[in-house]
């Protein structure tokens, strides 16, 4: 599609403003990060986890109109920052917690194709499904995933007898150096949130039960050194609605929950005790690609893990 190629070319070959302002801002942030993160000791394995959530088709930075988010976000400066972090030489895992679609005219025109292609260009490893990723229906979501070089992971939506059948994984194991990292994902209840004609015969299953089943398999059968859940349940609510807080406390084997849906900008990751009285870290980075989450873990020779550094990095430059 000639029009789409033009859009993608425009996004990846930014005008002078983006190159000199937003891109430069991202590069400066990345440069400062490189200086602040030293190499681990020789007998320690290091893993850097980068993550986004609720980007909502925000492919370009917010316009420089004097608003609160002016100049922030955009895939070009995010891609540059990710490139700079990868250049540090450690093991990196790049993840997204859903709601890739909906929010700008790009989605209205192309129904998610440039968003998926942009994530593939940035070499995302995995993502989970948010409620807005159903906004053009199951067939469209399945069609757009043909452009993905990353895995779409969810363990509590049953897509049998739908266009999405076979298009997702309940989990995936990533070998990062000496480490085995298990990643799974859970999605929110669709009934009452998404029109039924858009999610069709998708069957929602209890996220807590399914997460514990999958995480248990990753821990015992596959001997994963770390288990990550990509969650689109939301951080927490005033009532007893299922959230990341409840998910963390009711889990057994999950080490990290990367959240979405509620668009909350965490000042720092939060920690909860699970059913085994072990720590579960939860992080979320707002919406619209304004921030990139970064968590730096170190694993001892015995594979005991510790979260050494965290930073949610603002992308781009304010007016």
pLDDT tens across 172-211, in order?
999 999 999 999 999 999 999 999 999 999 999 999 999 9
Every domain of the chain and the residues it spans = 2-36+45-314
pLDDT of residue 9: 56
What does the alpha-carbon distance between residue 131 and residue 109 come to, in Å, rounded to a whole number? Answer: 19
The domain covering 2-36+45-314 belongs, at the CATH homologous superfamily level, to Metallo-dependent phosphatases (3.60.21.10)
Q: At which residue do the structure tokens 């690609």 appear?
A: 289
d(CA 202, CA 206): 13
Sign of torsion over alpha carbons 42, 93, 254, 183: negative
Residue 222 β-bridge partners: none
Residue 32 has pLDDT above 70, yes or no: no
The pLDDT assigned to 302 comes to: 75
**153, 168 contact by CB (below 8 A):** yes
Instruction: Compute the C-alpha angle 86/119/126, nearest 5°.
Output: 80
The pLDDT of residue 256 is 98
**Could you tell me if 81 and 292 are in contact, meaning their C-beta atoms sit under 8 angstroms apart?**
yes
Q: What is the pTM of this model?
A: 0.87
- Report the alpha-carbon distance of residue 74 to residue 57 in Å, rounded: 10
The pLDDT mean for the chain works out to 90
Segment 255-283 mean pLDDT: 97
Contacts of 189 (CB under 8 A, 6+ apart): 204, 242
H/E element, 25: helix 23-36
8: tokens are 């993608």
pLDDT at 105 over 50: yes
Mean pLDDT is lowest, of 23-37, 89-103, 116-130, 243-257, for 23-37
Cα Rg of the chain, angstroms? 19
pLDDT for 317 = 74
pLDDT, tens digit, 9 for 90 and up, residues 148-167? 999 999 999 999 999 999 99
**Are the C-beta atoms of 181 and 174 separated by less than 8 Å?**
yes
User: Residue 301 has what pLDDT?
Assistant: 81
CA distance 271 to 280: 6
* High-pLDDT (> 70) share of the chain, %: 86
């Amino acid at each position: 599609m000639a029009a789409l190629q033009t859009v993608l070319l425009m996004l990846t070959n930014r005008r002078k403003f983006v190159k000199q302002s937003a891109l430069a801002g991202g590069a400066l942030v990345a440069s400062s990060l490189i200086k602040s993160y030293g190499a681990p000791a020789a007998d320690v394995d290091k893993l850097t986890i980068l993550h986004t959530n609720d980007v909502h088709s925000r492919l370009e930075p917010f316009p420089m109109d004097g608003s609160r988010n002016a100049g922030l976000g955009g895939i070009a400066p995010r891609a540059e920052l990710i490139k700079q972090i990868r250049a540090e030489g450690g093991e990196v895992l790049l993840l997204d917690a859903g709601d890739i679609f909906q929010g700008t005219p790009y989605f209205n025109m192309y129904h998610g194709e440039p968003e998926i292609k942009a994530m593939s260009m940035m070499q995302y490893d995995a993502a989970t499904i948010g409620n807005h990723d159903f906004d053009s229906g199951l067939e469209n979501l399945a069609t757009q995933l043909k452009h993905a070089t990353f895995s779409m992971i969810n363990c509590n939506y049953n897509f049998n007898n739908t266009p999405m059948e076979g298009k997702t994984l309940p989990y995936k194991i990533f070998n990062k150096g000496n480490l085995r990292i298990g990643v799974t994902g859970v999605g929110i209840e669709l009934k009452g949130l998404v029109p039924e004609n858009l999610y069709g015969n998708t069957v929602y299953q209890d996220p807590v039960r399914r997460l514990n089943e999958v995480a248990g398999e990753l821990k015992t059968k596959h001997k994963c050194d770390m288990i990550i859940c990509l969650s689109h349940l939301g951080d927490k609510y005033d009532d007893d609605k299922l959230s990341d807080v409840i998910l963390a406390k009711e889990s057994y084997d999950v080490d990290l929950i990367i959240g979405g849906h509620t668009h909350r900008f965490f000042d720092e990751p939060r920690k909860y005790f699970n059913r085994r009285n072990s720590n579960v870290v939860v992080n979320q980075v707002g919406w619209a690609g304004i921030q990139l989450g970064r968590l730096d873990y170190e694993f001892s020779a015995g594979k005991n893990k510790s979260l050494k550094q965290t930073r949610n990095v603002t992308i781009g430059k304010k007016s």
